[in-house]
Amino acid sequence: MASCLQIADDEKGHDLDLFCVPRHYESDLDKVIIPHGLIMDRTERLARDIIQDMGGHHIVALCVLKGGYKFFADLLDYIKVLNHNSDKSVPLTVDFIRVKSYCNDKSTNSVKVIGGDELSNLSGKNVLIVEDIVETGRTMQTLLSLLSECNPKMVKVVSLLVKRTPRSSGYRPDYIGFEVPDAFLVGYALDYNEYFRDLSHICILNDQAKEKYKV
């Protein structure tokens, strides 16, 4: 099973005052759970693990928008550094897809894939799906079954976060950054109804904020 950094259920996190948090979000957040620097350090290692396993062949990195865009950009930067500085290097191309399954803080039953036409270009390729967070696993399982219809040569999934939750289907990505408690997390491109993508650290949203930004 993929090893990852465990954030314990009783993790107290860090006071907001110790970090730079946008003023407009100060009253919406309880604690910083994963500071931006730690995300970057873990991402650097994920890049190394991925290149070690997939490095023999051309990789198509498929970004799951919108939540995956920060992790995607930073992960690819680290992969580029490895490509620049080692004897072995692999061509890397990118593709983007949008998947929507959330309304407020609840996973909805339907998973919408937007931009599915481009999926046919993945035939015969080594595909790395880059996702922000896996909760029930439904989004990723839907995407994987759609992708298998396009006959890619290889598919690996990297998710920055996996939530420890009884709602999980049991699905585990190939590479995982952090395993996190069953709370609603925002920041580093993870959103609540489109807010909080403009926050660098991963934080726990408080109940007041869930009401404030409800649609």
Binding site for ligand IMP (CB under 6 A): 67, 101-102, 107, 131-139, 163, 184-186, 190
Binding span for Mg ion by CB under 5 A among 11-19, 28-36, 124-132, 172-180:
124-132
How many CB atoms neighbour CB 26 within 10 A? 10
Q: CB of 19: closest distance to ligand IMP in angstroms?
A: 19
Classify strands 92-103 and 5-6 as parallel, antiparallel or unpaired. Answer: unpaired
CA–CA gap between residue 169 and residue 109 (Å, rounded): 13
DSSP state of 164: -
Q: Which does 51 bind (CB under 5 to 8 A by kind): Mg ion, ligand IMP, none?
A: none
Q: Which does 137 bind (CB under 5 to 8 A by kind): ligand IMP, Mg ion, none?
A: ligand IMP
35 binds Mg ion (CB under 5 A): no
135 binds Mg ion (CB under 5 A): no
| Residue 61 vs 82, nearer CB to ligand IMP | 61
Q: CB of 42: closest distance to ligand IMP in angstroms?
A: 17
Q: CB of 15: closest distance to ligand IMP in angstroms?
A: 21
Q: CB of 118: closest distance to ligand IMP in angstroms?
A: 18
Return the percent helix, strand and coil in the chain, to nearest 5: 30, 35, 35
Instruction: Confirm if 156 and 55 have CB atoms less than 8 A apart.
Output: no
Q: Which value, in Å, is the radius of gyration of the alpha carbons in the chain?
A: 17
Task: For the chain, give the number of residues.
Answer: 215
Q: Crossing angle for the helix pair 36-54 and 69-85, nearest 10 degrees?
A: 60
- Interface with Mg ion (CB under 5 A), residue total 2
132 binds Mg ion (CB under 5 A): yes
DSSP state of 155: E
187 binds Mg ion (CB under 5 A): no
67 binds Mg ion (CB under 5 A): yes
| Residue 83 vs 168, nearer CB to Mg ion | 168
Q: Is the dihedral of CA 103, 7, 80, 62 positive or negative?
A: negative
| Residue 35 vs 137, nearer CB to ligand IMP | 137
Q: CB of 132: closest distance to Mg ion in angstroms?
A: 4
CA–CA gap between residue 163 and residue 180 (Å, rounded): 5
CA–CA gap between residue 102 and residue 6 (Å, rounded): 24
Q: CB of 62: closest distance to ligand IMP in angstroms?
A: 13
Positions touching Mg ion (CB under 5 A) are 67, 132
